[in-house]
Amino acid sequence: MTYLALARKWRPKNFDEMVGQEHVVRALSNALDSGRVHHAYLFAGTRGVGKTTLARILAKALNCEQGVSAKLCGECAACTGIDAGRFIDLIEVDAASRTKVDDTRELLENVQYTPTSGRYKVYLIDEVHMLSNHSFNALLKTLEEPPPHVKFLLATTNPQKLPVTVLSRCLQFNLKRLPSAQIVERMAHICAVEGMDAEPAALARLARSASGSMRDALSLLDQALAYGRDTLVDQDVADMLGSLDPRHIRALLAALSSGDPAALIAEIRELDSMVPDYAAVLDDLATQLQQIAVTQFAGVESLDEDLDRSALQQFAESMDRDLVQLYYQIAVTGRRDLELAPDPRLGFEMSLLRMLAFRPGDAPAVSARPAPRTPPPRVPVDAPQSAGSPGQPPEVPDDSDWPGVVESLAIDGAARQLAENCALESSTPFELCLSLDERNQHLLTDQLKSRLIDALRARLGAGLNVGFTMREHAGETVAARDARQAEQDLQQAKTAIETDPNVRKLVDLFGAEIDTDSVRPVSPESGRN
């Protein structure tokens, strides 16, 4: 007997069996029951969330011999034929393999002919964004003026790639990723019906790995049941997925929380003996830090029930909130930069050591050797500072420091002009928020932003993040300060000229006039007007 994969065997056959996507099911059901069915629908969403399943159910509802309705009989030739993939008036096309315009024209040649056996001729085009521009143009004409017996059901994982002319002629439904709890509930039901034992922790692990995709979850369930011989045990699932024991992530967090570099290095060495995927370890670490942050701000009750709430609560109470935010940022950045490291283990290790090296506010930085840890001396903002020096937190200016920081940056040209026109809106120990007048928006190019950010990190610390905001009127900037000072100097120079006794004599003697527009203040560097 041929085995049928769980994802196919348990594919919903009607709207009532759909898991999640209630907003789409409700809209389609109301449209069917009221007779207000549009001629073109677009189902958008990530893989495995039910796009083509909903399209096929809609095709059955349109052609069910009991009438157009959200309630399907499931027994007529149309319902059983569509389920079996042999209904002649449902034309399914994979656009990824038929991208040419000739393919599309061939597909649409028979649009004008009435259905062979059904009520409607339904065109289901999957991954429609893969069509070429010429193919879209060929499809557009039919979408504009479709025959009354034709319905178009389009599915895509990337709706942004569809021309707006196509989007405007479709009713679009965005399908959501399914919550882990819904996926776990569905898999538990399937296991119970199939007579298979499953540990709740194993189902939860599979649901998390599926990332919101029910189809992926059922495929993983199939694989796990084969691995465990029809029994689902959490440890077997972890081994199958190559998941890291949460104990190791907690050990890393404990070493970071206590600021113990020796314990951190020892745990990294133990991890290395298991040859892990260090990118996945950083992902797990970032996930744990996010859960700790949620616990700190919203309470442990806000977490999913399948998580280790007790351990997360302990870390939430023992770790500083700013440190948790900093660690998360470094973990995410380290994950991105891992492939640039000479070796994945070295990149992973440096990411964690960076967490110890940069400590927000007055939190002590970790010494490279066992010694009493004391807060490092705060470096004056006008003093030179190397980027990311070990043992020194990023130096963050306040409003009074900002002009000095700008003047000390190693940049010139347009990048310096950008810096001088930026105002310091806010700062934290690891982030600067700068604002810029809307009239200077032309300065905010990617290249100039990159040069300024590099200069700020070289000046204040490699762990610094820099953000930009456009304002109608930015705050105090170096350029505004310099312009104001220049205006004051000019007014003083004009006053000095007008009140100078020798100048007054020339005016009185010759009836001369002072050309104030030609007056320039004395330059301190040159000593000349």
Residues with Cβ within 8 Å of residue 459, at least 6 apart in sequence: 385, 387, 395, 405, 408, 409, 410
pLDDT, one tens digit per residue, over 443-480 is 888 889 989 999 998 888 877 888 888 888 777 888 88
Model confidence pLDDT, tens digit, residues 324-374:
999 999 999 998 888 889 999 999 999 999 998 876 554 545 544 443 333
Instruction: Pull the structure tokens for residue 280.
Output: 């996945």
Q: What is the separation of C-alpha 202 from the centre of its chain, rounded to a whole number of angstroms?
A: 27
pLDDT, tens digit (0-9, with 9 covering 90-100), for 378-397: 333 333 333 344 334 445 57
At 510 the pLDDT is 62
The CATH number of the structural domain formed by 6-174 is 3.40.50.300
Residue 384 is given by DSSP the state: -
Q: How long is the chain?
A: 529
- CATH T-level assignment (fold) for domain 180-241: Helicase, Ruva Protein; domain 3 (1.10.8)
Average pLDDT estimate for 292-309: 83
Q: Looking only at Cα atoms, what is the longest distance across the chain?
A: 121
Q: What is the CATH architecture assignment of 246-357?
A: Up-down Bundle (1.20)
In this prediction the pTM is: 0.59
DSSP at 96: T
pLDDT at res. 380 = 35
Amino acid 129 reads H
The β-bridge relationship of strands 431-437 and 422-428 is antiparallel
Mean pLDDT of the chain: 84
Q: Indicate the pLDDT class of residue 481, thresholds 50, 70 and 90.
A: confident
In this model, does residue 376 exceed pLDDT 60?
no
Confidence band for 511, pLDDT divided at 50, 70 and 90: low
Q: What does the pLDDT look like over 12-26, one tens digit per residue?
A: 999 999 988 999 999
Of the pLDDT bands very low, low, confident and very high (cuts 50, 70, 90), residue 240 is confident
Encoded tokens for 139: 């499809």
Judge whether 164 and 158 are in contact, CB under 8 Å.
no
**Which residues does residue 424 pair with via DSSP β-bridges, in sequence order?**
434
Cβ atoms of residues 59 and 67 within 8 Å: no
Class of domain 402-476: alpha beta
- Written as six digits, the tokens of 401 are 């420091």
